[in-house]
Every structure is written in structure tokens, then in C-alpha cells.
Amino acid sequence: MAKYEPKSLRNIAFIGHGGTGKTSLCESILYVAGKTDRAGRVDDGSSTMDYEPEEQRRHISIGAALNFVDWEKHKINLIDTPGDANFSYDTKSCLRIVDAAVVLVDAVGGVEFQTEKVWTYADEFSLPRLVFINRMDRERADFAQAMDSLKNRLRVKTTPVCLPIGKEDQFKGIVDLIQMKALLFEGDKGAVKTADIPADLRDEAEQYRETMVEDIAESDEALMEKYLDVGTLSAEELTDGLRKGVCAGSVIPVLCGSALKHIGTAPLMSLIAQTFPSPVDRGPVTGLKPGSDAAETRAPEEAATFSALVFKTIADPYAGRLTLFRVYSGTISSDTSFHNATRKINERFGNLFFLEGKAQKPTDGVVAGDIAAVAKLKETVTGDTLCTDKAPVVFARVVPPRPVMSFAVEPKSRGDEDKLVSSINRLIEEDPTLTFHRDEQTKEMILSGMGHIHIEVTTEKMKRKFGVEVNLKLPKVPYKETIKGKTNIQGKYKKQSGGRGQYGDCTLDIEPLPRGGGFEFLDKIVGGVIPQQYRPAVEKGIVEAMEEGVVAGYPVVDVRVSLVFGSYHTVDSSEMAFKIAGSMGFKKGVLACQPILLEPIVNIAIEIPDEYMGDVIGDLNSRRGRVSGMDAEGSHQVIRGQVPLAEILKYAPDLTSMTSGRGTFTYEFSHYEEVPAFIAEKIIAESKKEEA
């Protein structure tokens, strides 16, 4: 079985805004811990964690990557999460199954939008965390300024446990405020040399230490009593108190360093091992009994009944589906069966392994609290709960957010439609934030995701993994046509060209229905002026004409057509003739009934910081939107309103630009409304141009 017991495990997610150095810090940890021979770099393609070609090309993390190190007799599972908002679902899914988080903040930029977002995710799962102020060796790096941004942007109390020694390119070490020693980092592996605190930092260090001691003492009554009596605490007492405070969430330590120079990496790992909670410290996890609201708990013990949660799936064209899961209770071995309580099916584990970036390390078994992977499960997907069929349980899954941007996709090679559909469905298994459907009106295949980059990355993966190349274009807006007036119109089709001719004659009453009324056909023929066998053909001709549209080629809706009169020929009349007559009469009648275009209106909710309210509302108004209300959510405002779908097809990048990446939005279809005349004229002109 596994080398480590649950109490010696640490499951850590590295989270933060894009570009703060999460991947670089993970690479530094692997190198300093002796796991790799050299520290991988994101910018030169040598990264162990960012191994996907799309990540190396863009120099950003697109999917969460896993690895682990041995440190001070602990196994520390590292999860490097994406910092780009396009891929935040992956980050949230990983936070669902870890026991603590390291939040990276750039020493120049401080707290940024995605930092705030992932912080709220960590709050949602009540995760203990620490802050690592990275890139202290950069020009204009400022520890105090970064600390201020933590206070002002996150509105939380943090506790520095170290101070930087030197600034910018002179940054060379940190002051350990617990041991009150200077730690100087030398050599390419960040070897630590202990020294006395520089004289110019001693007074500042004393002030910071006094604040730190007070914060730690407040986390434990016994420590507080001793501190009040004696006036000081030992390093051992501070470490023990810090652990209690971190596990309880009452203390958030702050460290600093430089991942690229490996400064601060070893102290960070020691603090993780010493103060972050194990699965045992986090305690039992609660789920539900399948099919009921009854709570079911699972203790993080090896002797308990097996249970696990799938938090990520990776689609591999050669190895098949790769399933990543966290064991919450019990143990699991290779070549054993399990019950998928979410889907109510049984499957079998093949070979189990721990992930090391894209590499795989086989293992005979996985204990409670550990994270592992298995290949080639047939039906299990992200969010599923695994357990035994005798003691089923279902754990809560992270619900994917609604997509905010859509593109019409078409294969570059004719005949690749089926291959396109199957490859997208494989990628949806890997990334549930993608959706894919065929629009019945426009006949386009629509791929939707969290933003332009998200869709582009998906199409790149499609090409690399499945050999399918596609063209992307903005989807057509599903406009509709309707009428505002009434008319009585004749539709007559007469054709004589020698021999038997064609004759169909019908008179129609056409009138509008209320919005959403659809279509009604009424047969009001009296006296048999049109024989019964020809009347359904009139309706069929009208329905086909409605689908094709009359004004601009969009479907006609919300009309009632009554067949009131007509005539026929005993020889020349036929179903086809009356079908054509019905179509002709309907098209001519619609043009006489004040035809208009309808456009889809969506309900939109835009979450932004207060300072962007004016700009966003002004922009929404310029898009013909209507604001219906505003709600405060923490430090942000949520603007709610309605806007035409046509105006937000490219809203995701526009909102990002408008709010410096700090705005998000969701939308859902509401109803159809009349298109303003001046816009309708342009749509009709474009439609006729395309038709020509």
C-alpha cells in the first residue's frame, strides 16, 4: 500500500491571478525537493507542470496539473491551477478536493481580479490558506505595497511571518520572524544560509514579530494567557499556535520570495508541512445517501468504507479517458471494482497511478486523503462519486458555469462533420464548461465556452488530439418574422402548358397572434368550394413558406391563417397545386400585414467592482440594453438587465477590456421583441445580399 498515512498527507492547490508565478513556484518546489534535475521554465517549454503544447505556446496554464514531493516526512500533493478566468472552473474543481491553498500575489501588481475570484472560491470551501508574495526580485517590487493590497482588496487580516532582505535585483533572502534569523539563499538551488538579521532591518523585524506573536496567540487561549503573563513565546509555541490558527482559518500567514531564484521555496514547504492541515485534521466529509436528503459522512481513515470524488477528466486520443480522483475514506487497490453512485453503475479500476505532470507513477493502492488517477474508465466523468455498492454515498460536485461566448464551427474538410462532433464530445468530457449543439433554425453547429481564448484552445486541442481542423465564425442571430396587421388575400396557381395543367385557388385570412402564440391554421371552408383532400396541402404550403421566411429569410411566427374560400378544377387541381397556392397567398399576404423582425432578448447579470459601474451601464445602454436593478455582493455590484442577443455576441472580450479583467457576466434567453426599424432595414439588406 501507500508509503504515507493520511495524517502525513498535504493536499495543496496553488491559486492566484494569471502571471503571478504559480507554475514557476511548483517547478521550484520540484527542483528544491530533489524531484527534478533542473527547474522547468514556462517561457522555454521545459516546464514539468505546463506540458500541453497550447500552454507552452501561450505561456499560461490552461488546465490543472498535479505532482507531489516528499518533504520533512510528508507527502505534499501539488496542484498547479490556471489563473486565467477562461479556465477558472478547473481551479474551482481542484479547490473542492484539496485541504488548503497557497495564494500567489505578484510583488508589483499586488492583488488582481482573479486573486479576488479564487479567494472567494477558497472561502466557499472553507480552505485554510497562506499568501506567497512572489517575484520579489522584479523591478518596482514592493512588499509593503503588496501587503496593503491584501488588506484593501481582499479585506482580510493577514500575518507576515517573514520580511524581505534586499529589494528588486538585490533581493537575496528573508527574515524568519518565528526564529528571528536571516535566511540567505545562495546557489542555483536556493541553498539556505542562516545569519543574523541585518542591522537596518532589526527594528522593523521586531515590530512585525510583535504583531505576528499577538495574532498567533489570539488563536489559542493557553498561548494568549502565557503571552500576557510572560510577554513572549518560544519558536516551538509559535509554530504550534500558527498551525492551530491556520487550520482554524483565523490566521493567514504571508511569506515572500522569488520562485525563479528559489528564494523562499524551502521555508514555504516547511511551513506547509508544519502548519497546513492533513486530511485527518480536516475531518469527515459529508455527502448524501443516493435518492434522499439524508446526510452520510465518511471519515478520512484507512479502515473506513471506500469513497472518492472525481474532480478532473483528461481526454487522450491514445490512452483514452484519464480520470483524476481524491479518496475521502478507506483505500482502493488496482484491479478492483467500484460503484459509481452518481450514475448508478459499476466499473472496475485498472492500474492506479500518481501523476507527475504528464508522467505517471504506478501504485498498488491509494489511501484515504490521497489523490490519484486511473485510465480507461468507460462511463465515469468529472463530478461523479465512487464508492461501494453496499454503502453508497454522493458527494456534492462543482456545477459548471454557463458559457458566455459562442462560435459557429464547421470542419475545414468536407465529410469531417461526424469526426467533428465526436471529438468535441470527447473534449466536453474533459471540460464541462463547453457546450455544443446544432441550431435547428440556422443549421449551424454552435460551440460555446467561457471566452475567446477558451474556444481557440479547444479548437487547437481538437486539431492536435483528433486531427480535426475547423473554421470559427460568429453565430447567426436567430431572428424571426411576424406581422402586426390583418389581411384577406387570394393565392392562385394556374399553369397550362399542353396536356394536363395545374390549378389551385385559395383565399386566406391572415392575422397576428400574441407573442409566443406560434401558428394556428383554421379550415373555414363552407360548401366544398375546395375539396377536403386539398385543404391539408394549403396548410403544408403555408408552413413551408413560414420556415423559409418572407421578409428576410427568417421563420415566421405568431400568426393565424384561416382558409375561407377558393375554387378548384376537376381535372387540373392537385395537392401540389394547392400547396403552391397556399404558399403564394401566404407570402403575398404577409407583405400586406405590416411585417416586422423579432430578435432574441436575454437576461444578463454583470458582476463588476464599484468603480466600473458608470462605464458598464453606459456601455449596456449603447447596446440597447435596459438595466432592471443592481445588487451588492461583497465588494462588487451585480447589474441585472435585458439586452438583445445580437449586441453581446462579442461582449466577453469587451467587458474584459472595460474592467481590466475584473468583470464577469452570465446570460440566458428571455423572450423575443420587435427589432427597431432602422436596424431591421440593415438586417433585411444583408439577408438579401447573402441570398443574391
- pLDDT (tens digit per residue) in 448-463: 999 999 999 999 999 9
Sheet holding 405-411, edge to edge: 435-438, 445-449, 405-411, 470-473
Q: What is the pLDDT of residue 170?
A: 93
Check residue 113 and give its pLDDT.
Answer: 83
Query: CATH 3.30.230.10: which residues of the chain?
Result: 481-593
**Position 2 confidence tier, pLDDT thresholds 50, 70, 90:** very low
Report which residue type is found at 656: T
Query: Could you tell me which of 327, 273, 377 has the C-alpha nearest to residue 1?
Result: 327
- Compute the distance between CA of residue 405 and CA of residue 454 in angstroms, rounded to an integer: 9
Assess whether pLDDT exceeds 70 at residue 593.
Answer: yes
Sort 152 into a burial class: Cβ within 10 Å, 0-12 / 13-18 / 19+. exposed
Query: Would you state the pLDDT for residue 16?
Result: 96
For domain 285-387, is the CATH number 2.40.30.10?
Answer: yes
How would DSSP label each residue in 225-293?
HHHHHHS---HHHHHHHHHHHHHHTS--EEEE-BTTTTBTHHHHHHHHHHHSPPHHHH--EEEE-TTS-
Give the whole-number percent of the chain exceeding pLDDT 70: 99
Average pLDDT of the segment spanning 391-412: 94
pLDDT tens across 297-315, in order? Answer: 999 999 999 999 999 999 8
Per residue in 419-458, pLDDT tens?
999 999 989 988 999 999 999 898 999 999 999 999 999 9
Per-residue pLDDT tens over the stretch 270-290: 999 999 999 999 999 999 999
Q: Are 332 and 37 in contact (CB under 8 A)?
A: no
Question: Nearest-CA neighbor of 99 among 84, 79, 119?
Answer: 79
Q: What is the pLDDT of residues 468-525, one digit of tens each?
A: 999 999 999 999 999 999 999 999 999 987 677 899 999 999 999 999 999 999 999 9
Tens digit of each residue's pLDDT (9 = 90 or more) over 349-365 = 989 999 999 999 999 99
Pick the CATH number of 598-691 from 1.10.1200.10, 3.30.70.240, 3.90.1300.10, 1.10.4030.10: 3.30.70.240
366 phi and psi angles, rounded to 5 deg: -130, 130
Nearest to 557 by CA among 526, 511, 516, 501: 516
**Architecture of the domain whose range is 405-473:** 2-Layer Sandwich (3.30)
More confident residue, 518 or 187: 518
Predicted local distance difference test score (pLDDT) of residue 302? 94
pLDDT the model gives residue 41: 84
- Provide CB contacts within 8 A for 264, sequence distance 6+: 132, 136, 162, 174, 185, 255, 256, 257, 258
Mean pLDDT, rounded, for 153-178: 94
Q: Do 312 and 429 form a contact (C-beta atoms < 8 A)?
A: no
Write out pLDDT tens, residues 313-335.
998 777 778 999 999 999 999 99
Task: Cell numbers for 438, please give them.
Answer: 446544432
- Under the banding of pLDDT at 50, 70 and 90, the label for residue 1 is very low
How far, in Å, CA of 325 to CA of 367, rounded?
Answer: 12
Q: pLDDT at position 45, please?
A: 77
Please report which confidence band the pLDDT of residue 415 belongs to, taking 50, 70 and 90 as the band edges.
confident
Helices (H), 350-451: 417-430
Q: Considering the chain, what percentage of its residues have pLDDT values greater than 90?
A: 80
For residue 74, the one-letter residue type is H
DSSP string, 623-692: TT-EEEEEEEETTEEEEEEEEEGGGSTTHHHHHHHHTTT--EEEEEEEEEEEPPHHHHHHHHHHHHHHH-
The segment(s) of the chain belonging to CATH 2.40.30.10 are 285-387
Please check the confidence at residue 414 and state whether its pLDDT lies above 60.
yes
On the question of pLDDT at 662 being above 90, the answer is no
Q: What is the rounded average pLDDT for all residues in the chain? A: 93
Domain formed by 6-282, architecture: 3-Layer(aba) Sandwich (3.40)
Task: Write the single-letter amino acid at 406.
Answer: S
pLDDT tens-digit readout, 127-162: 999 999 999 999 999 999 999 999 998 889 999 999
558 touches 517 (CB < 8 A): yes
Q: How large is the average pLDDT for residues 104-118?
A: 93
Average pLDDT over residues 560-574: 95
Give me the pLDDT at residue 446, please. Answer: 96
| Count of helices and strands (H, E) across the chain | 17, 36
Domain 481-593 fold: Ribosomal Protein S5; domain 2 (3.30.230)
Q: How far apart are CA 321 and CA 424, in angstroms?
A: 14
Q: How far is it, in rounded angstroms, from Cα 109 to Cα 114?
A: 12
